[in-house]
Amino acid sequence: MNVGLITLIISTVLMILIFTGVPVAFSLMLIAVAGVLIWGNPNMLVSLASVTYIQTLKDYYIAIPMFIFMAAILQVSGLGTALYDMFYKWCAGLRGGLAISTIGVSTIMAAMTGSSSTATVTMGMIAYPEMMKRGYDKDLAIGCIPAGGCLGPLIPPSIAMILVAALSYLSIGKLFISGVFPGLLCSALFILYVGIRCYIDPKLGPAIPKAERATWKEKFVSLRGAILPILLIFIVLGLIYTGVSTPSEAGGLGAFGALICAMINRQLTWKSLKEAMQTALKLNAMILWMVVGGVCFSSLLVVTGVDRFIGEIMLGMGGNRWLIFALMMFIVFLLGMFIDPTPITLICLPIFVPIVMQLGFDMLWFGLVFTFNLIIGFLTPPFGVAMFYFKGLGIPGITMQDIYRACLPYCGLMILGWFLCVIFPPIATWLPSMMIK
């Protein structure tokens, strides 16, 4: 059968399975097994199982359970409340100060957990009621929460980056560190946006009256709530940056540090520990099934020649290599509107990586902008994950239309941040280049 027709059949069946609700991991495995039987032979199933087993034993994936457990413990440790209290007291006198506090806390929680859900849910429960009580504009109060939550997978440690590194043959440590400046850039753009809007129109985010603001003593006392998480962040990233430990070892130390933080914060109970372990187990199982499905699907693409066919089409377009890069990024952006980042990574990277290498792009820079592009999908209608996390809180009077409208400006700011990383690669590559070998 013509490889072009095979490509069409595989992509069509995959989209049908995903949009009819079949789990992505099992969709990928089903297509892989059926494809091997149709276009190969039954004996190839043994090779498929062997390749999948070998790939899942890669050292890259050892880091995933460590960072997931770290995130799960920090989620039940109550540190989010302490962080918000600290930012609340220091930023209360600013116009839009509560929204700025929300973004600041989300940035720190992103570096603590690498998850978009933790910051979105925590700030949705803590910050949104406070902002509405203080007379904040509804759109401003809603939008800053999912936007801040989106920073999770971009600022290290990040599960998404581990998968990108594994499929791009990159150092996890270097890819982690490459996300520091882009993540802070996005956070700064969000804060500037809120600050400028509230400066122009104070009614959008009024400052808290002087009589209700914290004293200097209270402000400095509140800093205690930030010491533990910031110290943990510096230890984990510092160990990776200096080369003292691998990301997997740093993840293990981070998980232990998270237990200590929860213990000091008096939140480490048998109930919270059980909850954290169950969450970590479920997420690990889900990601492992995703990896298995992705490896099976990639093997099918190799066997049928679909990966080479797509690569030849792209490289045969001629013209500027940036046109091919733009096409790849547009495909990722388009998929991000409908599909979670993990399956996009597992489907696209095995095809894109050889093309990018042949075009001569810096792979570390490409890994970062690819990850950044995935994260934009969290805020992109109709299926932005962060927006659905916020809607899932069940806050009365908030519709999905309200959330879409509130998040669109932040989506635009993330796209601006992505373009800056594309135009000025040192934003992503300078810090990793300074790492101790």
Residues 390-409: tens digit of each pLDDT: 888 888 888 888 889 999 99
- Residue 53 placed within a domain: yes
Do residues 192 and 103 make contact, with C-beta atoms less than 8 angstroms apart? no
For 361, the 3-state DSSP assignment is: coil
- Residue 6 placed within a domain: no
- Residue 1 placed within a domain: no
Query: Which pLDDT score is estimated for 436?
Result: 56
Do residues 324 and 315 make contact, with C-beta atoms less than 8 angstroms apart? yes
Do residues 265 and 78 make contact, with C-beta atoms less than 8 angstroms apart? yes
Tokens found for residue 337: 């509107």
Query: Which pLDDT score is estimated for 414?
Result: 94
- Measured over the CA atoms of residue 363, residue 369, residue 115 and residue 30, the dihedral's sign is negative
- Residue 19 placed within a domain: no
Q: What is the mean pLDDT of residues 184-194?
A: 93
Cis check: omega of the bond before 146, within 30 degrees of 0: no
Query: Which pLDDT score is estimated for 234?
Result: 83
Query: Which pLDDT score is estimated for 184?
Result: 92
Q: What is the mean pLDDT of residues 309-328?
A: 82
- Residue 139 placed within a domain: yes
Per-residue pLDDT tens for 229-278?
788 888 888 888 887 888 888 888 888 888 888 888 777 788 888 888 88
Q: What is the mean pLDDT of residues 21-44?
A: 82
Query: Which pLDDT score is estimated for 160?
Result: 84
Residue 43 has pLDDT above 80, yes or no: no
- Residue 10 placed within a domain: no
Of residues 243 and 172, more confidence is placed in 172
User: Which residues are CB-contacts of 375 (< 8 A; sequence separation ≥ 6)?
Assistant: 116, 150, 151, 153, 154, 160, 341, 414
Residue 437 has pLDDT above 70, yes or no: no
Per-residue pLDDT tens for 76-127?
777 777 788 888 888 877 888 888 988 988 888 877 777 777 778 878 888 8
- In the chain, how many domains are there? 1
- pLDDT confidence tier of residue 185, bands split at 50, 70 and 90: very high
- Residue 38 placed within a domain: no
Q: What is the mean pLDDT of residues 170-195?
A: 91
Query: Which pLDDT score is estimated for 289?
Result: 84
Whether the pTM exceeds 0.95: the reply is: no
Give residue 43's Cα distance to chain centre: 39
* Separation between Cα atoms, residue 373 and residue 276, nearest integer Å: 29
Average pLDDT, the chain: 84
Query: Which pLDDT score is estimated for 82?
Result: 77
Domain membership of residue 225 as a residue range: 24-32+43-433
- Measured over the CA atoms of residue 232, residue 238, residue 244 and residue 245, the dihedral's sign is positive
Instruction: Using CA atoms of 199, 200, 204, 205 in order, give the dihedral in degrees to the nearest 10.
Output: 0
Q: Is 212 exposed, middle or buried (0-12, 13-18, 19+ CB in 10 A)?
A: exposed
Q: Which residue intervals of 150-223 are DSSP H helices?
A: 159-168, 172-178, 180-200, 216-222
For 208, the 3-state DSSP assignment is: coil
Q: Which of 160-164, 239-243, 264-268, 282-286 is most confident?
A: 160-164
- pLDDT confidence tier of residue 319, bands split at 50, 70 and 90: low
Tokens found for residue 254: 């981070």
Per-residue pLDDT tens for 401-430?
888 999 999 999 999 999 999 999 999 999
Query: Which pLDDT score is estimated for 318?
Result: 67
- Return the amino acid letter for 279: T
* Separation between Cα atoms, residue 34 and residue 417, nearest integer Å: 41
Tokens 């979105």 — which residue? 120
Do residues 127 and 117 make contact, with C-beta atoms less than 8 angstroms apart? no
Q: What is the mean pLDDT of residues 139-154?
A: 88
**Listed residue (388, 295, 309) closest to 343, CA to CA:** 295
- Residue 74 placed within a domain: yes
Tokens found for residue 224: 């205690």
> With pLDDT > 70 as the criterion, what percentage of the chain qualifies?
98
Do residues 134 and 92 make contact, with C-beta atoms less than 8 angstroms apart? no
